[in-house]
Amino acid sequence: MALCIIGCGNVDRGDDAAGPLVARRLQRFGAQTPGVEIMEQSGESFALMDCWLGCEHVIVADATAPRGTPGQIRVWNADGDKLPEDVFPCSTHAFGVREAVELARAMNRLPPTLMIYGIEGKQFSFGEPLSPEVERSVESVAQQLFELVRTTTGPAQTARNRA
């Protein structure tokens, strides 16, 4: 697979839904095209590492821990950036996105390119909706990634899928 976009999180836990909702918006936009895989994952490390096995380019979208600026979007390039320990504690799994990236790095199993889009969450309670700030950022990240897919696969293909 040329490009794999993975939305991580739990849709039932407030802003932890940010990652999966990015993935769902991309599906709705028609971003899943030949060579582009869009998927949802819980964020559990081993499963994530399995998902990106054999992928050339991987993008992970996930909620990040509250730091007083809900909705803030931050992007890491795993090739150069070590993921900070205190940013991805949101998963229900102590072994989550950061650990997947760092474990893959330690084992030489990182894909050729891996970008992580983090959307800062505000609240993560069961059953709560997205915070308005996070909802806006979900839309923004989805648009950015859709543009990226269009430039990768060509506008005609994505337009056909969208139709």
Count of all residues that appear for the chain in the document: 163
Cβ neighbours of residue 41 closer than 8 Å, sequence gap 6 or more: 6, 7, 8, 47, 48, 51
Applying CB under 8 A, the span of 12-20, 29-37, 143-151, 155-163 interacting with another protein comes to 12-20
Among 6, 17, 25, 41, binds another protein (CB under 8 A): 41
Cβ neighbours of residue 6 closer than 8 Å, sequence gap 6 or more: 19, 23, 39, 40, 41, 48, 51, 52, 58, 59, 60, 61
Applying CB under 8 A, the span of 26-34, 98-106, 110-118, 146-154 interacting with another protein comes to 98-106
Cβ neighbours of residue 39 closer than 8 Å, sequence gap 6 or more: 4, 5, 6, 7, 23, 51
Q: Does 93 bind another protein (CB under 8 A)?
A: yes
Q: Does 89 bind another protein (CB under 8 A)?
A: yes
Applying CB under 8 A, the span of 28-36, 124-132, 135-143, 155-163 interacting with another protein comes to 124-132
* Closer residue to another protein, CB minimum distance, 10 or 157: 10
Which positions touch another protein (CB under 8 A)?
10, 12-13, 16, 40-47, 49-50, 65-66, 89-95, 99, 102-103, 106-107, 121, 124-127
